Amino acid sequence: MKNLQVFLIAIILFSCREDDQIPEAVDDPVRDNLAAFIDPTETDPGIDLINDNLHYALFNAVENGRGELLLFLGGTLSRTSGTSIFSEFVASKGFHVINLAYPNLTPVRDCADQTDQDCALKYRREVFQGIEGSELVSVNTNNSIENRIEKLLLHLIQVDPQGGWEQYLTDGEISWNKILVSGHSQGAGHAAFIANQRSVKRALMFAGPNDWSDFYQKPANWLAAPGQTSSSNQYAFLHLRDEATSFDIQIQCLLNMGLSDTSDVDGSSPPFENKNVLFTDEAPEISVGFGAPFHGSVVNDRFTPLQGGQPIHASVWLYMLGLEDEPI
């Protein structure tokens, strides 16, 4: 019954706005800019379409492109169209951007009451690589995050030949050292896990990770495991009034990852005391109705607070990207 309740709550908390009419990627060898929603099944016949969710790939041909890719992973049941403000903001700064559609139907909080202390580890590993072992999810290699990234990059190399996507594959393998992994809620935990398993450029975690055991009253074991990415290159942005997972639990998870220094960004400006864990108490753009406004306000379109049409937290996003000296 508890798992069913969590699942029903997840549907409410993480559902995004209705998708607009979505264009398909167009084969145009002279196109400079790219902003396309792509059906995952078009990149690999072995991949399934899950939750009617499409990949969102972007690249703006700005002068002095960065040669870095930002990978974004949404929360439970989210759609890539629900974080377009952040995706398009990052693309405007010269990054290649992939907002990935992946198997996100089951929240990691389903591990909370399990006696298996490696429940969250097995869950993360299966979603990331398709390695069988979790009792909560069933994700094969084709549908794993890693395969979806690789096959999407190969697809983008074909449909956007001037886009420079080939630099993120080396001998058919993902060039993780050129990638910033990021995500919201469930996706924040996946970003943290990928940073643990691979040496990435940076990890950006929004409203997470949330890998907590109610049974043992402590963070999941894997969070404290030695990882491939330095903690100095990992950043988190949380809300004090997060209603999906409490701020205190998120802080304990981050402490286990070696991230201990925090900074209140409200009324402040970069470099935010050069801290890696940032938090806000800013009111969300929408605070009534369905959803989790505070949980989503750090990055999700529906709840991102705006001022003059611009995201209030843009300076925080820039800092996390390593661009604190650049204008918004």
pLDDT, tens digit, 9 for 90 and up, residues 151-173: 999 999 999 998 999 999 999 99
Render 76-119 in DSSP notation, one character per residue: TT--GGGGHHHHHHHHHTT-EEEEE-----S-GGGGTT-S-TTH
Task: Please give the torsion angle defined by the CA atoms of residues 193, 197, 203 and 207, in that order, rounded to the nearest 10 degrees.
Answer: 0
pTM of the model: 0.90
Cα 314 to Cα 320: distance, rounded to the nearest angstrom: 10
Query: Which domains, and CATH codes, for the chain?
Result: 2-321 (3.40.50)
Provide the pLDDT for residue 27: 47
78 burial type by CB count under 10 A (0-12 exposed, 13-18 middle, 19+ buried)? buried
Cα 187 to Cα 280: distance, rounded to the nearest angstrom: 19
* DSSP 3-state percent helix, strand, coil across the chain (nearest 5): 35, 15, 50
Any bridge partners for residue 170, and if so which?
173
Provide the pLDDT for residue 287: 79
Q: Is residue 80 within 8 Å of 101, Cβ to Cβ?
A: yes
Cα 57 to Cα 75: distance, rounded to the nearest angstrom: 18
pLDDT tens for each residue of 29-82: 445 789 999 999 999 999 999 999 999 999 998 766 789 999 999 999 999 999
Is the per-residue pLDDT at 122 higher than 60? yes
pLDDT tens for each residue of 217-262: 999 999 999 999 999 999 999 999 999 999 999 999 999 999 999 9
